[in-house]
Amino acid sequence: MGKKNIPYYIFLVPAFVLIGIFTYVFTGLTGYFSLLDWRSLGQPGEFIGLQNYYEFINNPIAMKALVNTVILSSLFIILTTVVGLCLAILLDIGSKAAGLFRTIFLLPLSFSFVISATMWVWMFAPNQGTINSLLRLLNLDFLTQPWITSTQQSLLCVLIVYIWQFSGFATLIYYAGIRGIPQEQLESALIDGATTLQKYVHVIIPQLKGETIGVVTILLFYALRVFDLVYLLTGGGPSLSSEVLATYMYRVTFNQNLFAYGASIGFIIFLLAIGVMVPFLYLTSGRWRR
Amino acid sequence: MKNLGRLFYYVATLLATIFYLLPMYTIINVSIKDAEDLVYGPVIPARSIFLGAYLEAWRQISQPFYNSVFMTLPATVISTFLGSLSGLTFYRLKFKGSNLLFFLLILGFYIPPQAILIPLVRFISAIGLYGTIGGLILTHVSYGMPITTLLFKNYYESIPKEVLEAAEIDSGSILSIYRHVILPLSLPGFAVVSIFQFTNIWNDFLFGLVLSRGPSSQPVTVAIANLKGTTLAAWNVQMAGALIGAIPVLLFYLFATKLVIRGLMAGAVKG
């Protein structure tokens, strides 16, 4: 086998050179940069150990960004999964038009974050925005909200857009899962006198474990890199109320040229991602299918 | 009880549909309004179809739009092709450390861009590709490798190993097997992976933001973001620009829905 397989090994070379350099070497470099004194354009300065990390821990903005990241990422995963499952059940109940509605729910996924953000900035605009205008037209003025202009609501607004963008993906996976359940099982449940609600709660949902793992696996990818919608919708504001680690890292690195401090934030984001993904991949490997 | 359930079903479906479509209604409605009509806000339907905003938006983003085309097409083709090779190796061979390598590949997929951003910008500058489309192509190909490899490996699982083994005995050369056996059998796989990659690369914002400089290398996403934040009077231009930028991927979603869905499911159903 040995010699014959050499071309197969050659096939791996581009992937491993590129992933090796662009992912692993660069991550290592970020870790190295984070130990330096490097606060302006130009070459990195001397080694200062963990000082950038002390600065991070003692900086209230950094802590706020960390907390916001954890809140946004975890609520994004939980709520997107739940909304996606509910929509899949709606599709399953009214299966006549399921194809049309599935496409409608999936459309937001086709938009880049820039386009979703453009839409939603004007959905949320307090005076001219769609939501408040609609509420006023319906004489529901008391329901109007300041949305992204409020420190209380900015993070919630970002969360809503993330859910809007990705729940159709969860719906797609769950709907395929529900449709894949053998018809006999559902019929025997109905013969036993189960209501529609009981059918879903007791027969269908327990069988969707594989789908849930699949959905969460993909959502984690996006949850660990929340940046774009925050940057584009609120820029982390107002008054840093929606700042997450990634927007904070971008700001200190590319606007303030604090490269080493930015690298330490980048490395903390890396450690968080590894801390979540290594156990997750370990626990779920080999269990992708029911 | 039965009627109550039915009512709940209709109300829930209606609300969900409004939630999904309202932003899209907003963007289309505003993009076809002229300056006078904009005063009536985003909800009241446009009185007539005005295309001036599209012309103005196109004037501002046409160059970035072409940049995106010249960035996305080569990056998609290269990363799909390379993924089809490395995916084949992972499908065909079990060697010492292959599980570890595969794990590192999957893990690499999850490492957020912030962890590599500073060395990336320095590296791309050092090799003279900062502010060029070439730099963006190289970056997108590199970060596309894990997912294209994974998608192809999963796709190949549907080809029986015996087919490959028989071909290996028959012809011997792996390159000719790739061309005459793997390639014809995996054309749908190529379609699925290319559409998946096209979507990711076309829609990327962050790499374009940090690696491009000015209109000569800026991808369309970055140009649309810059249309933002001008005056209120120009929000029809923003909306029109955003819609123009959405069109290529939207076409895939509307007219190649099945292939898009296969790509999305392939990533989730089996990791």
Indicate yes or no: CB of B145 within 8 angstroms of CB of A25. Answer: no
- A125 DSSP β-pair partners: none
| Residues of chain B found within 8 Å of residue A117, distances taken between Cβ atoms | 225, 228
Residue B132 contacts residue B91 (beta carbons within 8 Å): no
Q: Name the residue facing A22 among B116, B175, B261 (closest C-beta).
A: B116
pLDDT band at B202 (very low <50, low <70, confident <90, very high): very high
Model ipTM value: 0.91
CA atoms within 13 A on the CB side of B134: 6
Q: Is the pLDDT of residue B226 over 90?
A: no
Which residues constitute the domain of residue A160?
A: 52-182+208-284
A105 touches chain B (CB under 8 A): yes
Q: Is residue A13 part of a domain?
A: no
| DSSP letter (8 states) at residue B47 | S
pLDDT of A227 higher than 70 = yes
Domain of residue A177, CATH code: 1.10.3720.10
Q: Please give the C-alpha separations between residue B123 and each of B14, B126, B131, in angstroms, as whole numbers.
A: 51, 5, 12
Tokens 């609300």 belong to residue: B15
Alpha-carbon torsion, ordered B98, B103, B106, B107, to 10 deg: -140
Residue B54 Cα distances to A68, B60, B224, B232, angstroms: 37, 10, 13, 16
pLDDT at A3: 66
Residue B271 banded pLDDT, cuts 50, 70, 90: very low
Greater confidence, B268 or A288? B268
Q: What is the pLDDT of residues A148-184, one digit of tens each?
A: 888 899 999 999 999 999 999 999 999 999 998 888 8
Q: What is the DSSP letter of B210?
A: H
d(CA B42, CA B28): 9
What CA–CA distance (Å, rounded) separates B120 from B207? Answer: 9
pTM exceeds 0.90 for this model: yes
B100's CB contacts (< 8 A; 6+ apart) are none
3-class DSSP assignment, residue B256: coil
Report the alpha-carbon distance of residue A279 to residue B6 in Å, rounded. 43
Subunit contact B242:A277, Cβ cutoff 8 A? no
Q: What's chain B's Rg over C-alpha atoms? A: 23
Query: Which of A60-74, A113-127, B216-230: highest mean pLDDT?
Result: A60-74
Residue environment code for B61-100, b if the CB has 16+ CB neighbours within 10 A, otherwise e: bebbbebbebbbebbbbbbbebbbbbbbbbbbeeeeeeee
> Distances in Å between the alpha carbon of B122 and those of A26, A27, B26?
10, 13, 40
Nearest-angstrom CA–CA distance, A210 and A289:
5
Residue B265: name the closest of A80, A177, A181, A73 by CA.
A177
pLDDT average, residue stretch A234-249: 93
- pLDDT confidence of A289, banded at 50, 70, 90? very low
| Gyration radius (Cα) of chain A, Å | 23
Whether A217 contacts A283, CB under 8 Å: no
State the first-to-last Cα distance of chain B, in angstroms, to the nearest integer. 42
| CB-CB contact of B266 with B154 (8 Å) | yes
Chain A nearest-CA distance from B24, in A, is 7
| A138 near B CB under 8 A | no
3-state secondary structure chain A: CCHHHHHHHHHHHHHHHHHHHHHHHHHHHHHHHCCECCCCCCCCCCECCCHHHHHHHCCHHHHHHHHHHHHHHHHHHHHHHHHHHHHHHHHHHCHHHHHHHHHHHHHHHHCCHHHHHHHHHHHHCCCCCHHHHHHHHCCCHHHCCCHHHCCCCHHHHHHHHHHHHHHHHHHHHHHHHHHCCCHHHHHHHHHCCCCHHHHHHHHHHHHHHHHHHHHHHHHHHHHCCCCHHHHHHCCCCCCCCCCCHHHHHHHHHHHCCCHHHHHHHHHHHHHHHHHHHHHHHHHHCCCCCC
Answer whether residue A287 shows pLDDT above 80. no
What is the band of B137 on the pLDDT scale with cuts at 50, 70, 90? Answer: very high
Q: Which tens digit of pLDDT belongs to each residue from B54-92?
A: 999 999 999 999 999 999 999 999 999 999 999 999 988
Chain B closest-CA separation from residue A112 CA (Å): 4
| Residue A224 to residue B198: CA distance in whole angstroms | 22
Residues of B in contact with A254 (CB under 8 A): 210
Which residues in chain B have their CB less than 8 angstroms from residue A116's CB? 23
A94–B13 CB contact, under 8 Å: yes
Residue A260 has pLDDT above 70, yes or no: yes
> Could you tell me which residues come within 8 angstroms of residue A62 by beta carbon, excluding any fewer than 6 positions away?
A55, A56, A245, A248, A265
Q: Is A24 within 8 Å of chain B by CB? A: yes
Shortest CA distance from A120: residue in chain B: B23
Number of structural domains (chain A) is: 1
pLDDT of B232 reads 57
Q: Examine residue A133 and state whether it is found in any structural domain, yes or no.
A: yes
Q: Cβ contact (<8 Å) for B114 and A265?
A: yes
Residue A38 lies in a domain: no
Is some CB atom of chain B closer than 8 A to the CB atom of A101?
A: yes
A64 part of a folded domain: yes
**Any domain includes A63:** yes
Q: Return the number of other C-beta atoms located less than 10 Å from residue A4's C-beta.
A: 11
> Hey, is the C-beta of A284 within 8 angstroms of any chain B C-beta?
yes
Q: Give the contacts of B34 (CB within 8 A, at least 6 positions apart).
A: B48, B50, B52, B53, B236
Q: Quick one: CA torsion of B235, B239, B240, B242, rounded to 10 degrees?
A: 140
Record the tokens describing residue A194, joined without a space: 């189960």
Q: In terms of CA atoms, which chain B residue is nearest residue A261?
A: B118
Helices (H), B157-256: 161-171, 174-177, 183-185, 187-203, 206-211, 220-227, 235-255
* Residue A286 Ramachandran class (φ > 0 left, ψ -120 to 50 alpha, else beta): left
Interchain CB distance below 8 Å, B86 and A26: no
Q: How high is the mean pLDDT of chain B?
A: 89
Q: Given an 8 Å threshold on Cβ–Cβ distance, is A130 in contact with B239? A: no
A75 Cα to chain B: minimum distance (Å): 18
CA B236 to chain centre: 25
User: For residue A7, which residues of chain B lie inside 8 Å, CB to CB?
Assistant: 173-175
Distance, CA of A69 to CA of A109 (rounded, Å): 22
Whether residue A18 lies inside any domain: the answer is: no
Kindly state whether A257 is in contact with chain B, defined as any CB-CB distance less than 8 angstroms: no
Round the average pLDDT of chain A to a whole number and report it: 90
Question: Which tokens sit at B183?
Answer: 């390639």
Domains of chain B listed by start with CATH number? 1-50 (no CATH), 55-269 (1.10.3720.10)
| Stretch A52-56: mean pLDDT | 94
Q: Taking a C-beta distance cutoff of 8 angstroms, is the pair B116, A23 a contact? A: yes
Report yes or no on A6 lying in a domain. Answer: no
Evaluate the CA torsion angle A9, A14, A16, A21 in order and state its sign.
positive
pLDDT at residue A197, rounded to an integer: 81
Tell which residue, B201, B209, B207, B192, has the closest CA to residue B249. Answer: B201
Listed in sequence order, the residues at least 6 apart from B45 whose beta carbon sits closer than 8 Å to its beta carbon are B29
A252 inside domain: yes
